[in-house]
Amino acid sequence: MYLKNALRAATALTFVATAAAHAQTITIATVNNGDMIRMQGYTDNFTEATGIDVEWVTLEENVLRQRVTTDITTKGGQFDIMTIGMYETPIWGANDWLVPLDGLSAEYDVDDILPAMRNGLSNDGTLYAAPFYGESSMVMYRTDLMEKAGLEMPEAPTWQFIREAAAAMTDRDNEINGICLRGKAGWGEGGAFITVTANSFGARWFDEDWKPQFDQPEWKDALTFFVDMMNESGPAGYATNGFNENLSLFQQGKCGMWIDATVAASFVTNPDDSTVADKVGFALAPNAEGVDKRSNWLWAWALAIPEGTEQADAAKQFIEWATSKDYIELVAENEGWANVPPGARTSLYENPDYQAVPFAKKTLESILSADPNNPTVKPVPYVGIQFAAIPEFAGIATQVSQEFSAVYAGQQSVDEALAKAQAFTAEEMEAAGY
Amino acid sequence: MARTVTTRRKTLNTAFAWAVGLLIFFPILWTILTSFKTEAQAIASPPIFLNFDWTLENYAIVQERSDYMRFLWNSVIIAGGSTILGVIVAVPAAWAMAFVPSKRTKDILLWMLSTKMLPAVGVLYPIYLLFIQLGLLDSRGGLVVVLMLINLPIIVWMLYTYFREIPGEILEAARMDGATLKEEILYVLTPMAIPGIASTVLLNFILAWNEAFWTLNLTAVDAAPLTAFIASYSSPEGLFFAKLSAASTMAIAPILILGWFSQKQLVRGLTFGAVK
C-alpha cells in the first residue's frame, strides 16, 4: 500500500516537474537605475500577456559590464537578455555575439526609434539592441542664481559664457560653486566628460590613421580651459566627483550649473529629493567659440539578445514589450509623463503631454544634435561621441582619464598628462595592431 | 603611587581601545543610520547624525523588490559549505605539516600562501570556462568548491599554527595506546585544538560570507548570495544610498549577530597559544 502511494506521489511529482520544466522563464541582466527598476515592477503585465516568466539579475553598471562581457565572450549562456550600451553594441554585433533584431512586428514600429539611437545600436545597418532609454547631455542651471548674477542663459551657450557665468555665480561664503562637472577617473565618468569637452574644442582621439592626437593644440586648449574654469568656480575635490557626487551637490543647492546626462533633469526637478526643484533651467551643452560642434554625448541603455540563448523568441517578445510605445503609455498612465523612459522614440517627443515636461524639448534637441559618426569637426575613423567604439578603448581611456584626474588634483601639469596620454595610447594602439 | 599610575594607564588603555573600536565600527554604524533616512537626508550636507525622521521605508522597498530569504539562504549554504569542506581538507594537511614535517614543509606553506597573491581576475576566464564545461555556473556547489579553494591556504596556515602548540608527545602516547591515524586526529588532536578550529571556522565563514568577486561573477539567479543582493542596489547614475544602506544592513546583520555571540570563542582561538 505504502509502495503504491509512493509510486503515485512520484508519478504526480514527475508530471508537476515536467509541466514546470515547460513553463518558459527568461533571465535578464540589467543595470540598477530608476527606469530599469520601474520596468521590473511592470513585468507581471508581460507575464500575464505571454505566459513567460522573467528572472532579473540587477547589478551596478561596472559589475554588470564585467559580468555580461565574461558571459558573452565565453558563451556561458547565463542570460537571455543583456542590458548593454552604445559602446558594446556595435562591437559585439560585428563579432556576431548578438542576435540581430530583425523581423520585429509592424505595430512595434521600429522606424519610430530615434535615428541617432538606431544608428548607435546598429552595425552595418543591422539593429542589434533596442533602446530602453536614451540620453544626451545638457546644461542644467539655477535660474535664481543666474538672475542674481545679472546674466541670461542663451539657448545654446559657448564655453566662454559658461565660464563667465560660473565665476559670477560662485559664492564661496555660501558654499555655492558656479559649476560642477565630472572629474572622476574612469572612461564612463570623467573620461566621457573631458572627451566631449575636447570634441567641442575641435580635438579628436585619433586621426584617420588611428594615430593618437593628444599632442595637438586642441587637446591642450580643452584641458587647460577645463582645469582653469574648475579651479576658479568648481567645488573642492572635483577630481573625485562623478555623476552622483554632482547630483548630490546640485540637489542641495551647491551648484550654479551642472553639465551632465539629460536623464538627471528628472532628478533635479523632483521636489522629493531636490531642494532647488523649481529653480532649474536647461540649455544645450556648450561649444568653444568658432567650433561647430557641441559637447553633448549620446548614450542608450538597450536590450540585446546574446547569440547562443535557447530562448531567442521569448527574449525578442520581451524586448518588443519593454521598448514599445504601449509600455511608455503604461508608465505614463500610472506614474506620469515625467517618469517614462526618455530618449528612445520619436513619437514620445511628438506627444503634447510629454512636450509639457520642462526638460523634454532640450533633451530631444540634445539627442538629435548628437552624431556618433561625426563626433568632432575633423574626420575620425571611429564611431562614438564620448568613446571610440573599438574594444581597446575602455582600457586606454580609463588610463588616460586617470592621468587627467591627476591634473585636476594638482598632482601634475596639463602638459605632463597629455604627454603620458599620447605615449600610452600610441603604445597600446600599436600593440593592438592599428 | 605605583597603583595610581597603573590605574591611569588602564583608563588610558581602555579609552584608546574604545576609540579604536568606535573608529572601526563607525562605517557600519553610519550605514545602519543611513538605512533609516530618506534619500534626501542620506546625502544631506552637513551630514545628519541622529536628528532625522526615522523611517522604515527603505526596508519596505528592499523587501518588496528582492527575495531576501533566497539570497540569505544561498549565503548560508555557500559560506557554511565552503568552510566545513575547507576544514575537512585542511585538518589532515595541517596535521601532516605540524607533526610530520619534511625539509620542504615551510616552502609548501609559503607557496600555499603565495596563491593568495594572484589577483582573482587573472583566473576569471579559466575558472568561468571550467564552470561552463562542468555545468557549475550559477550553482551553490560550484561556489562552495571555489571559495573553499580560495580560503584553504588561510585555513591550513591557521590550523598549522594551532597544531604546533600541541605537544607531539600526546599524540605519540595515543599511538602507543594503539590509536589509528584517524582516531589520533579525530579523538586526540581535534578536541585539543577545538578553540583554534572554532576561530578558524568563524573567520573563514566571515571571509566566505563577504567574498564578492567570485560570488558576483559565477552566479546569476539560483545561487546568488547576499553580495549580489547588495550589488543590485548600487548605482552610478542616481542616488540610492538609503536603499543601498538598508540592503547592506540586512546583508551584514546575520554575520554581525554571529560575530557578537561568538566573540569569546573568536578571541580565545586567536590568542590560543599566545600565553603559556
Distance between CA atoms of A254 and A126, rounded to whole angstroms? 45
CA distance readout (Å), B137 to A71, B120, B131: 10, 17, 5
The DSSP bridge partners found for residue A283 are A139
CA distance readout (Å), B15 to B4, B19, B190: 16, 6, 38
B65 touches chain A (CB under 8 A): yes
Asked if A194 and A226 count as a contact pair (C-beta separation under 8 A), the reply is: yes
3 state SS of B181:
helix
Distance between CA atoms of B105 and B110, rounded to whole angstroms? 9
- A33 and B216: CB-CB below 8 Å? no
Within a domain: residue B161? yes
Asked if A317 and A50 count as a contact pair (C-beta separation under 8 A), the reply is: yes
Q: How high is the pLDDT of residue A8?
A: 54
- CATH for B106: 1.10.3720.10
- Chain A residues with beta carbon closer than 8 angstroms to that of B134: none
Pairing of strands A255-261, A53-59: unpaired
Contacts of A319 (CB under 8 A, 6+ apart): A81, A101, A130, A303, A305
Which residues 321-340 on chain A approach chain B with CB closer than 8 angstroms? none
Phi and psi for A308 in degrees, rounded to 5?
105, -15
Mind telling me how many Å the CA of A106 is from chain B's nearest CA? 34
Q: How high is the pLDDT of residue B264?
A: 80
Interface probe with B: pick from A39, A57, A80, A386, most Cβ of B within 10 Å: A57
Which residues 23-82 on chain A approach chain B with CB closer than 8 angstroms? 27, 29, 31-34, 37, 40, 55, 57-63, 66-67, 70-71, 73-79
Within a domain: residue B87? yes
Q: How high is the pLDDT of residue A4?
A: 52
Pairing of strands A137-142, A177-180: unpaired
pTM of the shown model: 0.85
For chain A, domain boundaries: 2-135+298-360, 137-296+391-431
B240 touches chain A (CB under 8 A): yes
B135 touches chain A (CB under 8 A): no
- A79 and B124: CB-CB below 8 Å? no
3 state SS of A289:
coil
CA distance readout (Å), A344 to A34, A114, A131, A373, A392: 16, 6, 6, 18, 28
Distance between CA atoms of A124 and A412, rounded to whole angstroms? 42
Distance between CA atoms of A116 and A101, rounded to whole angstroms? 17
Residue-wise pLDDT tens for chain A (434 aa)? 444 555 455 444 444 444 444 579 999 999 988 888 889 999 999 999 999 999 999 998 888 999 999 999 999 999 999 999 999 999 999 999 999 999 899 999 999 999 989 989 999 999 999 999 999 999 999 999 999 999 999 999 999 999 999 999 999 999 999 999 999 999 999 999 999 999 999 999 999 999 999 999 999 999 999 999 999 999 999 999 999 899 999 999 999 999 999 989 988 998 988 999 999 999 999 999 999 999 999 999 999 999 989 999 999 999 999 999 999 999 999 999 988 999 999 999 999 999 999 899 999 999 999 998 899 999 999 999 999 999 999 999 999 999 999 999 999 999 999 999 999 999 999 999 99
The parent domain of residue B169 ranges over: 66-232
Distance between CA atoms of B142 and B130, rounded to whole angstroms? 10
Q: DSSP letter string over A111-146?
A: GGB-HHHHHHTEETTEE--EEEEEE-EEEEEEHHHH
B40 touches chain A (CB under 8 A): yes
The DSSP bridge partners found for residue A158 are A287
- Chain A residues with beta carbon closer than 8 angstroms to that of B232: 32, 57-60
CA distance readout (Å), A175 to A150, A179, A242, A256, A270: 19, 12, 19, 11, 22
If 0-12 CB within 10 Å is exposed, 13-18 middle and 19+ buried, where does residue A283 land? buried
Q: How high is the pLDDT of residue A272?
A: 84
Asked if B269 and B195 count as a contact pair (C-beta separation under 8 A), the reply is: yes
Please identify every stretch of chain B with a pLDDT value under 50, giving residue numbers as ranges: 1, 274-276
Residue type, B192: M
Give the count of domains, chain B. 1
B236 touches chain A (CB under 8 A): yes
C-alpha atoms less than 13 angstroms from C-alpha of A270 in its C-beta half-sphere: 18
Residue range B55-90, pLDDT digits in tens = 999 999 999 999 999 999 999 999 999 999 999 999
C-alpha cell belonging to residue A383: 564611431
Pairing of strands A53-59, A25-31: parallel
3 state SS of A199:
helix
Residue range B194-222, pLDDT digits in tens = 888 988 999 999 999 999 999 999 999 99
| A and B: number of Cβ contacts within 8 A | 97
- Nearest by CB: A76 against B128, B231, B237: B128
Contacts of A107 (CB under 8 A, 6+ apart): none
The DSSP bridge partners found for residue A28 are A56, A81
Chain centroid, CA A364 distance in Å: 15
- Nearest by CB: A252 against B45, B124, B234: B45
Residue found under cell 552622483: A244
- A27 and B39: CB-CB below 8 Å? no
Q: How high is the pLDDT of residue A215?
A: 97
Asked if B269 and B200 count as a contact pair (C-beta separation under 8 A), the reply is: yes
Q: Domain A137-296+391-431 in CATH: superfamily?
A: Periplasmic binding protein-like II (3.40.190.10)
Residue type, A285: A
Q: How high is the pLDDT of residue B39?
A: 87
Distance between CA atoms of B230 and B246, rounded to whole angstroms? 9
Distance between CA atoms of A54 and A28, rounded to whole angstroms? 7
If 0-12 CB within 10 Å is exposed, 13-18 middle and 19+ buried, where does residue A250 land? buried
- B132 and A75: CB-CB below 8 Å? yes
B43 touches chain A (CB under 8 A): yes
Within a domain: residue B191? yes
Sheet with A299-304, edge to edge strand ranges: A53-59, A25-31, A81-84, A299-304, A130-135
- Nearest by CB: A59 against B43, B232, B240: B232
Q: How high is the pLDDT of residue A14?
A: 45
B53 touches chain A (CB under 8 A): no
> Which is it for the CA torsion B254, B257, B262, B267, positive or negative?
positive
C-alpha atoms less than 13 angstroms from C-alpha of B65 in its C-beta half-sphere: 24
B57 touches chain A (CB under 8 A): no
Within a domain: residue B145? yes
C-alpha cell belonging to residue B39: 534619500
The CATH number that domain A2-135+298-360 falls under is: 3.40.190.10
- Nearest by CB: B238 against A29, A71, A267: A267
- Nearest by CB: B231 against A55, A60, A71: A60
Per residue in A345-360, is it b (16+ CB within 10 Å) or e — as a string?
A: bbebbebeebeebebb
In this chain, the answer to whether the domains covering A2-135+298-360 and A137-296+391-431 adopt an identical fold is: yes
Q: How high is the pLDDT of residue B239?
A: 76
- A76 and B124: CB-CB below 8 Å? no
Q: How high is the pLDDT of residue B68?
A: 95
Within a domain: residue B91? yes
Interface pTM, i.e. ipTM: 0.83
